[in-house]
Structure 1
Amino acid sequence: MSQTILYARVSTKDQNLDHQLTQAEAAGHKVDEVVADHGISGITTHLCGRPEGKRLYDKLRRGDVLVVRWVDRLGRNYQDVTDTIRDFMRRGVVIRTVINNMTFDGATSDPTQMAVRDALIGFMAATAQAQAEAIKEAQKAGIEASKANPAKYRGKKPSYNRETLLQVQSMLSEGQRPSWIASATGLTRQTVLRIKADPVAAHAAVDRWR
């Protein structure tokens, strides 16, 4: 009997897995089991190198469905993400994303459909890596700005922490509407728009209030 497994990943101890399951269920996925890695970076650690990622490979069988919020949960490295998705497809596993409602499987043998599918996988994997690199640069710039002005007035404390800020940036890079992001994160739409307009300043504000 086939099963539907949600794989979730959080990279800091402050992050919470609940919203990933809630989003999946709201999108219509009937999740049989959640497999999750905590405190794991998607940039430096490939899926097969994570404790629960390894277990995921052992659990999934032909006909099973693997649900992820987006491909960045599998990894933030282009080669790793594309290799992982293609490996699962060869095993007969169907991969579905909550955001954008994408489905990847190996059922088709039509070369044109295969080419389109593989191109889309590559694009999404490249976007995940580019997004991670952009966030890293914004963090670095924010830290440097904070160091350059250590005595500067801290300003109003931001209504978000680092984890929420990264979540907002991730959703923005995936094309989600500011109003939807605000609802999902508990922030105001105006706050989301400010983060979108100046992510460096947003990271600097978090650094000042660490």
Structure 2
Amino acid sequence: MTTIFYARVSTADQTLSHQVSQARAAGFEIDEVLSDHGVSGVSTALRDRPEAKRLFDKLRKGDTLVVRWVDRLGRNYADVTDTIREFIRRGVTIRTVINNMTFDGTPQDPMQEAVRDALIAFMAATAQAQAEATKEAQKAGIAAAKMNTTKYRGKKPSYDRATLGDVVRLLGNGLGASAVAKMTGLKRQTVLRIRKDPSVAEAALQKWGL
């Protein structure tokens, strides 16, 4: 039985070493690492990515696929749900580093299967919604930065783009500001400001070129 860690590295802040270190720090024992860099999680299906498509050849019954969160598999609802269910049918266990979620074929009762599938659907939908929200926030942030004609950029953000994405996603999952602050290492007030207007937080990153 093999444990494969898959990473999709979409920004400079989400380095492969960071994702792997985070997984190992959480107690995961990894046998192999596969990663794709600079590929869109929205427009590119998992099986169409250079390294990710190897998962479909490598993963066998009893193997475990570990990802930082389901959004590393993709940000397209249909693709993510179809992929996870296909791996489960093969007897593969899917685990996430964040939230420590486990999806496998253990549930035999139809009701339990329905609950599992509903959770998969919710997480996949959240990943796509966050991608769409981030895209809109980036547009608003760029527009706000262009409107600012002064040289003063304000205080440098205490978060990077990856952390901002985590905050938006965790808040979208229903977590409170205090819990999100603890999980991301940010101050509660910072999380509250991001929750109030993500586009302002994105604008701050734009101003500092982060």
Q: Same fold (TM over 0.5)?
A: yes
- Give SS of 1:177's match: helix
> Offset at 1:43?
1.4
Aligned to 2:84: 85
Q: Is the 8 A contact 1:13 1:38 kept in 2?
A: no
Q: 2:183 aligns with which of 166, 180, 185?
A: 180
Distance 1:121 1:14, change over 3 A: closer
Aligned to 1:43: 42
Structure 1, 17-26 or 60-69: larger mean CA deviation: 17-26
Letter matched to residue 123 of structure 2: M
Letter matched to residue 38 of structure 1: H
Q: Is the 8 A contact 2:13 2:161 kept in 1?
A: no
2-structure distance, mates of 1:64, 1:209: 43
Indicate the percent of aligned positions where both proteins have the same amino acid.
67
Q: Is the 8 A contact 2:13 2:160 kept in 1?
A: no
Letter matched to residue 177 of structure 1: V
2-structure distance, mates of 1:206, 1:17: 22
> Offset at 1:158?
2.7
Q: Give unmatched runs, 5+ long, in structure 1.
A: none
- Give SS of 2:152's match: coil
- Give SS of 1:131's match: helix
RMSD: 2.1
Q: Give unmatched runs, 5+ long, in structure 2.
A: none
Aligned to 1:71: 70
Aligned to 1:120: 119
Query: What is the count of residue pairs matched by the alignment?
Result: 205
Matches within 5 A, 1:88-167: 88-151=87-150, 153-167=152-166
2-structure distance, mates of 1:136, 1:108: 36
- Give SS of 2:5's match: strand
Q: Is the 8 A contact 2:4 2:66 kept in 1?
A: yes
Structure 1 residue 204 corresponds to structure 2 residue 207: no
- Give SS of 1:67's match: strand
